[in-house]
């Protein structure tokens, strides 16, 4: 399907092996997106799926012209998000987690974005009901602060909204779980403020979480590697901006 070039708000939604419920999840996005009063598109990115998620998403796209499906057979959370963002045509870009995000948040987040634009508007989860996850998230956010000076209590909180101009300037490249951190680090380096919408937390739409201790260690170690790779470049960029 040819993208509608009049779109204002583009939402990217990666999904993985959610064939039993993804159709219902996508349908739940439509009323809130309609309620924004803006022309929108929903770009669904099946992420190396081994079930019939693609077919279920295609069925929704066949009924609503605003819904597009772009398959990512290579896999990777960051790669899926970036694939969708690069295909998006909206002035305001967004990505979310298809397993946990409440679509009803989108109109409020868009209003928050417009009140502070240009900015990154995002959700911050106040409580998750899982002490180990909360402790792991706290450590990750602390690491981001110590390594990069990022002031954010929930680095991985989504949905995230931001202007197309930021996406084009930031040159995001993380193919895995570090994309959220890279985005927040580059937003800070470019002087883009962050506006946050507090929420209590999310329940899953279905399936089981793939996050585990190995995932956590990957994030912690990945943040250190990112500091080594980006540190000098970000320092130069800050110096140029302040000079």
pLDDT at 118: 97
pLDDT at 210: 57
pTM for this model (two decimals): 0.86
Burial-class residue 204 by CB neighbours within 10 Å (0-12, 13-18, 19+).
exposed
pLDDT at 17: 96
Q: Is the preceding omega at residue 118 within 30 degrees of 0, hence cis?
A: yes
pLDDT at 212: 52
Per-residue pLDDT of the chain (243 residues), as tens digits, is: 566 769 999 999 999 999 999 999 999 999 999 999 999 999 999 999 999 999 999 999 999 999 999 999 999 999 999 999 999 999 999 999 998 899 999 999 999 999 999 999 999 988 766 677 778 888 889 888 989 999 888 999 999 999 999 999 999 999 999 999 999 999 999 999 999 999 986 554 555 555 555 666 677 787 878 887 776 555 544 444 444
pLDDT at 240: 40
């Amino acid at each position: 399907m040819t993208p509608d070039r009049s779109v204002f708000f583009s939402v990217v939604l990666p999904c993985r092996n959610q064939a039993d419920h993804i159709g219902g999840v996508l349908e739940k996005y439509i009323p809130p997106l309609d309620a924004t009063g803006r022309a929108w598109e929903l770009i669904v990115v099946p992420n190396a799926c081994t079930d019939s998620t693609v077919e279920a998403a295609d069925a929704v796209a066949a009924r609503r012209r605003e819904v597009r499906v772009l398959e990512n057979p290579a896999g990777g959370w960051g790669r899926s998000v970036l694939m969708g963002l690069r295909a998006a045509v909206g002035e305001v870009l967004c990505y979310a987690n298809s397993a946990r995000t409440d679509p009803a948040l989108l109109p409020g987040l868009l209003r928050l974005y417009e009140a502070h634009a240009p900015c990154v508007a995002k959700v911050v989860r106040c409580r998750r009901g899982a002490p180990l996850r909360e402790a792991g998230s706290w450590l990750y956010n602390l690491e981001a602060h110590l390594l990069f000076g990022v002031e954010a209590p929930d680095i991985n909180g989504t949905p995230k909204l931001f202007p197309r101009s930021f996406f084009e300037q930031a040159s995001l490249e993380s193919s895995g779980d570090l994309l959220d951190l890279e985005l927040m680090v580059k937003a800070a380096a470019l002087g883009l403020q962050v506006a946050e919408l507090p929420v209590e937390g999310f329940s899953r739409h279905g399936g089981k979480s793939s996050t585990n201790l190995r995932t956590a260690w990957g994030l912690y170690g990945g943040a250190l590697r990112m500091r080594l790779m980006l540190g000098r470049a970000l320092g130069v960029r800050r110096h140029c901006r302040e000079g």
